Amino acid sequence: MDAVDQKVFSQFQSMIEATMATGETCAESIGSAAEKIASALLAGNRVFTCGEHSSSLVAQLLTDYLSQGYEIDRPGFPSLNLNQIAQQSGAAERYNQALKTQAASGDILVLLSGGDNSNLLLGALNTALDRGMSIVLISTANDDLLINLVSYNDVHINIGSAPSPLIIQSQVQIVQCLCALIDSHIFGGE
C-alpha cells in the first residue's frame, strides 16, 4: 500500500470509528430528540435550526430534510433555518431578532455547535428559553456554556471531542438519523 492509499484508508478508518462512537454514545439522546421534535410537529409547532461555521450547513440540511422530506415522500414540516433568515444581518443579535419575531412557545430550536461556545448560539439559546421553546443541542465537549443552559426538559446530544471534520460528519449522521426517526414516529414504519 503506497502513502496515498494509506492516507485514504486512514481517513475512512477515522470516519468509521467516529460513526461508531457517535452511535454508541448518542443513541438514547438522538431517540429522545426525535420524539420531542415529532411531538412538537404533531402539535402544530415549528422547528428552528441554526449553527455556526460549518455547522450552519448541517443546520440547513436538517431544515431541508424536515421541510422537503428525507427518506419518504411526505408533506413538508414547518422548519426554518435561522442562518438563512438572518444571513443579511451582520448584527450580533441576528438570531435573537429572528426568534423574537418568528418563534412561539412550544416551538423547537435545534442548535448545532462545533465547540466554540459561540456568542450567537448562546444568544439564540437564551432567547429561545425566554420564548418558551424547547431546545435540542448538538454539541461537543468544548461547549460548556451552551450545555449549562440546557434544562432537563431539553435534549442534549453530546458528540464529545474530535477533530472538526469528524464533528461535522457526526452532526450530519445525527441529523439523518433524527429525520428517519421523526418520519417513523409520525408516519409509522421501521
| Secondary structure of 52-97 as H, E, C letters | CCCHHHHHHHHHHHHHHCCCCCCCCCCEEEHHHHCCCCCCCCHHHH
Domain extent at residue 126 = 3-187
Predicted TM-score (pTM) of the model is 0.92
Q: pLDDT value at position 14?
A: 86
Domain count, the chain: 1
Q: pLDDT value at position 190?
A: 61
Cα(71)–Cα(148) distance, integer angstroms: 34
Cα(49)–Cα(58) distance, integer angstroms: 9
Q: pLDDT value at position 61?
A: 97
Q: pLDDT value at position 90?
A: 58
Q: Along the 190 residues of the chain, how does pLDDT read in single tens digits?
A: 788 888 888 888 888 888 888 889 999 999 999 999 999 999 999 999 999 889 999 999 999 999 998 888 899 999 999 988 776 655 557 788 888 888 999 999 999 998 888 888 999 999 999 999 999 999 998 899 999 999 999 999 999 888 888 899 999 999 999 999 999 999 986 6
**CATH for 108:** 3.40.50.10490
Q: pLDDT value at position 95?
A: 83
Q: pLDDT value at position 113?
A: 94
